A and B are shown apart, each in its own frame.
Chain A
Amino acid sequence: EPEVTQTPSHQVTQMGQEVILRCVPISNHLYFYWYRQILGQKVEFLVSFYNNEISEKSEIFDDQFSVERPDGSNFTLKIRSTKLEDSAMYFCASSEAGVRTDTQYFGPGTRLTVL
């Protein structure tokens, strides 16, 4: 069964450094998403992406964050200058369509630790 993959599984970085989290969505999917889960808290939506544009973003997704689909398979989340509070599990997801009935399939996550 096709699945969403993410790399790395765990990333440790120093405060102020840039990080890029990578995702490979399911191959025929057109809609891509990033979520995060701070330890012990809810899974929160960050951003959705379709047709090479951001279609929706949350208030968490400020100027420090950016997303890109650099080629036909990868979808990346960049954090320009990491803060301690960016430490979280980051999940990538993809869906075939953007309608409310469609399922979003999640990757296994990247645990980001900012020191």
Chain B
Amino acid sequence: GNSVTQMEGPVTLSEEAFLTINCTYTATGYPSLFWYVQYPGEGLQLLLKATKADDKGSNKGFEATYRKETTSFHLEKGSVQVSDSAVYFCALRRDDKIIFGKGTRLHILP
């Protein structure tokens, strides 16, 4: 079946540290891949997406590359800020529905 696995949190980093949140997927065919972010008290916001192999999605300094050979879509940022503290969800789209990972809570310390 289709599923998304992402690293367990919480992840705690100091400001300006390098961030990686790992995400791998299982899917038939070629799904589109997404990262959504949920800031405290808010809903799900699209952070970035990639729709085919080797595509790189980027937004607000975050990047993720669609790797078909390793079925991965890891999220990276070179220098995190306190304002990046949130829950990050890796997801794939098959047909009508989006299938989410469990989410990774990120804490950034000043």
- Chain A residues in the interface with B (C-beta under 8 A): 6, 31, 33, 35, 41-45, 48, 55-56, 58, 91, 93, 98, 100-109
Contact = CB atoms under 8 A, between A and B. Distances in A.
Interface in B21-49: 30-32, 34, 36, 42-46, 49
A48 B95 CA distance: 10
Looking at chain B's contact residues, the main secondary structure is strand
B44 A106 contact: yes
A104 B97 CA distance: 9
Nearest to B44: A106
Interface residues of B, number: 24
Which of A44, A100, A108 is packed against the most chain B CB atoms within 10 Å?
A: A100
Interface of B: 30-32, 34, 36, 42-46, 49, 51, 89, 93-103
Contacts of B36: 106
A6 to B, nearest CB: 8
Contact of B103 (A42, A98, A109): A42
Nearest to A108: B43
Contacts of A98: 96
B32 A101 contact: yes
B100 A43 contact: yes
Contact of B95 (A35, A56, A103): A56
Contact of A103 (B43, B46, B100): B46
Contacts of B45: 106
